[in-house]
C-alpha cells in the first residue's frame, strides 16, 4: 500500500515548457484538478460506492480517472456496445465503461485473482451495474480461449500483466470487431519502455508491445500521454 501515490502523480509526463507561466508550487495537482473541474470528472470514491483492496490503493493500481473519462467520451462517440477488459482489479474501469454503454451493452472483464474479483463483484452490485458486467475469474490468456468466437467486441482494453501485453494483443485481435478500438493501458510503463534495455520484466513486456506497434502498418495508432500512457489502435 502506497498512500503517498496520488492521481496527480500519475497524470502527464513532465512538461516544463507548458508550466513556465505557472507561479504555484503544485503544478501536477493543480493541472489534474483543473482538468477534472472543467471536464466534470469526479473522484472515483465519490462517483462510485467503492470497496477498496487492502493491498493497493485505487490511486496506485486503477486507471487514471482522466483516462477513464476520455474513454467514456470515445465510447459514446463510436457507439461502443461490447467491451472486453483484461485486468479488473476492484472494478473501477469496468464500471466506468459500463456507465457509458447504451441500453443492452455489456462489459466482459477478466481478473486473475479471486480476492480482487470478489471486491469487484461487490462493487458492481453496490453500484447497480451487475447486469451490464460479466466477470470471469482466472488467467486471461486461458479465459479468452473459452469466449465465443462469434461475439465480437467494439473495444478491447488490455490492462493485465504487462509481461504478456503483446500476446494479449495477438490473442484478442480476432475478437475485435472490424471497426473496433484496441486499447493498451500504461504503455509507457513508468518510463521503462524508453530504456534500450528495460530494467523490469513488465517494462520489457510493454516495450515488446510498443516495438511491435511501431511496425503495425495495418493500424491507425496513437500513444496518448495520459497518465502512464494510453495506446489506441483502429484498423486501416
Ligand X SMILES: C[S@@+](CC[C@H](N)C(=O)[O-])C[C@H]1O[C@@H](n2cnc3c(N)ncnc32)[C@H](O)[C@@H]1O
Contact 88, 116 (CB under 8 A): yes
CB of 19 to ligand X, least distance (A): 27
Q: Least CB distance from residue 163 to ligand X, whole Å? A: 9
**What gap in Å lies between CA 74 and CA 100, rounded to an integer?**
9
- The nearest distance, CB 227 to ligand X, in angstroms, is 10
Q: Answer whether 174's CB lies under 8 Å from 148's CB.
A: no
Q: Cell 471536464 appears where?
A: 39
Q: How far is the CB of 17 from ligand X (least distance, A)?
A: 30
Give alpha helix (H) positions in the chain. 27-39, 44-47, 58-61, 65-78, 92-99, 114-126, 140-146, 165-172, 201-214
48 vs 210, beta carbon nearer ligand X:
48
Q: Which residues of the chain form contacts with ligand X (CB under 6 A)?
A: 61-63, 86-89, 92-93, 110-113, 116, 139-141, 159-161
* Closest CB to ligand X: residue number: 87
- Whole-angstrom distance, CA of residue 17 vs CA of residue 36: 21
170 vs 214, beta carbon nearer ligand X? 170
CA distances from 165 to 15, 86, 152, 213, 220 (A): 27, 10, 20, 11, 18
Q: For ligand X, give the closer residue by CB, 117 or 233.
A: 117
When the beta carbons of 57 and 177 are compared against ligand X, the nearer one is 57
The least distance separating ligand X from the CB of residue 43, rounded to whole angstroms, comes to 14
Which C-beta is closer to ligand X: that of 93 or that of 206?
A: 93
Amino acid at each position: 500500500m502506497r498512500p503517498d501515490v496520488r492521481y496527480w502523480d500519475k497524470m502527464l509526463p513532465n512538461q516544463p515548457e507548458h508550466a513556465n507561466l505557472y507561479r504555484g508550487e503544485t503544478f501536477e495537482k493543480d493541472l489534474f484538478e483543473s482538468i477534472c473541474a472543467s471536464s466534470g470528472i469526479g473522484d472515483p470514491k465519490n462517483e462510485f460506492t467503492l470497496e477498496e483492496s487492502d493491498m493497493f490503493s485505487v490511486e496506485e493500481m486503477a486507471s487514471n480517472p482522466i483516462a477513464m473519462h476520455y474513454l467514456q467520451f470515445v465510447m459514446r462517440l463510436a457507439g461502443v456496445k461490447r467491451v472486453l477488459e483484461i485486468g479488473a482489479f476492484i472494478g473501477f474501469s469496468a464500471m466506468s465503461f459500463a456507465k457509458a454503454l447504451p441500453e443492452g451493452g455489456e462489459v466482459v472483464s477478466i481478473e486473475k485473482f479471486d480476492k480482487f474479483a470478489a471486491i469487484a463483484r461487490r462493487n458492481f452490485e453496490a453500484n447497480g451495474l451487475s447486469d451490464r458486467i460479466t466477470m470471469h475469474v482466472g488467467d486471461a490468456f486461458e479465459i479468452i480461449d473459452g469466449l465465443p468466437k462469434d461475439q465480437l467486441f467494439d473495444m478491447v482494453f488490455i490492462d493485465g500483466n504487462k509481461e504478456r501485453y503483446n500476446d494479449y494483443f495477438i490473442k484478442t485481435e480476432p475478437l475485435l470487431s472490424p471497426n473496433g478500438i484496441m486499447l493498451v493501458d500504461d504503455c509507457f510503463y513508468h518510463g521503462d519502455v524508453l530504456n534500450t534495455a528495460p530494467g523490469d520484466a513488465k517494462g520489457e513486456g510493454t516495450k515488446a508491445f510498443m516495438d511491435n506497434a511501431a511496425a503495425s502498418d495495418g493500424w491507425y495508432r496513437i500513444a496518448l500521454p495520459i497518465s502512464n500512457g494510453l495506446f489506441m489502435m483502429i484498423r486501416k
